[in-house]
Amino acid sequence: MKVKNLWKDLIVKPGKKVRLSEIDPEDTLGFKNKDKALEVLERNRLKLADLHTLLYAENRRALLIVLQGMDACGKDGTVRHVMNGINPQGCTVTCFKAPSAEELDHDYLWRIYKAVPARGNIGIFNRSHYEEVLVVRVHNLVPKEVWSERYKQINHFEQSLSENNVKILKFFLCISKDEQKKRLVERLADPTKNWKMSPQDLKERELWKDYMKAYEDVLTQCSTAWAPWFIIPANKKWFRNLAVSQIIIETLESLDMKYPKLSFDPKKIVVK
């Protein structure tokens, strides 16, 4: 199964006005066979593991992956199914929940910067600094004149990371409101998934339109050449995983990474 350039199809071009009503969360961009897609995903996992080894060995750059989306969009599932072949020694996953008292005593990017991956590593943000222009905005936690300045601040922050060899990929996992309902109902019906639910999830669901507007502004204002956003149609979990894995691979391959030069000739080394 040949995989076309999903980067080109799913990227939010800098400066483009995003309207999420024009995005079909059911879209699979022509991929119709789930079984074949899963075969490609398995090949991608093996390839990603090799590329991660190269990234780790070269030790010049880091890769930061940001996952955002509504509750039940599949952030945890994406990490589990796409990154499960990665050596955990060189990969960290950070989940950003409500800030602690210590974090609130600093600027909003303080806790984010601390979690940026070291060179040679992959870092995954399950939610991120974008909560400061999403939840904060929707719930009126700070005045508009405060959160509206954060788009520019975030762009500058990400540009600084990029200039210091942190490659950034940001994925918005786009599901429909009906699909979210289906997944939330499944969580309630499954005792092994009940823990994922809370009454607050239903209150957040009532604010769907407000969140969609907030996400549109994030995607429009913060997709840059150095830190692009990708909108991933995520109703079909298998396509979500395929698309994210393919874009990560295309990105790492574009870095033209090389194993470091040795200070010795291994052919002259004798192990006794």
* Per-residue pLDDT tens over the stretch 210-237: 999 999 999 999 999 999 999 999 999 9
- Mean pLDDT of all residues in the chain? 95
Residues forming a β-bridge with 62: 166
Question: Cα–Cα distance between 126 and 190 in angstroms, integer?
Answer: 23
Q: What is the pLDDT of residues 9-44, one digit of tens each?
A: 999 999 999 999 999 999 999 888 899 999 999 999
Which residue do the tokens 């076309």 mark?
4
Residues 126 and 76 sit within 8 Å (Cβ to Cβ): yes
Helices then strands, counting H and E runs in the chain, come out as 12, 5
Residue range 6-18+29-253, CATH number: 3.40.50.300
pLDDT at 1 over 60: no
**Sheet with 122-126: strands ordered across:** 91-95, 122-126, 62-68, 166-174, 229-233
Question: Cα–Cα distance between 112 and 94 in angstroms, integer?
Answer: 9
Q: What is the pLDDT of residues 116-138, one digit of tens each?
A: 999 999 999 999 999 999 999 99
In sequence order, what are the residues at sequence separation of 6 or more whose Cβ sits closer than 8 angstroms to the Cβ of residue 204? Answer: 70, 71, 211
Per-position b or e across 39-49, b if 16+ CB within 10 A of its CB: ebbeebbebbe
DSSP 8-state code for residue 110: H
Residue-range domain boundaries for the chain:
6-18+29-253
Q: Name which residue leads in pLDDT, 198 or 253.
A: 253
Residues 72 and 180 sit within 8 Å (Cβ to Cβ): yes
Question: 75-82 and 34-58 helices cross at what angle (nearest 10)?
Answer: 70
pLDDT at 2: 59
pLDDT at 262: 87
| 3-state DSSP assignment of residue 131 | helix
| 3-state DSSP assignment of residue 269 | coil
Q: Name which residue leads in pLDDT, 194 or 155.
A: 155
Q: What is the pLDDT of residues 36-66, one digit of tens each?
A: 999 999 999 999 999 999 999 999 999 999 9
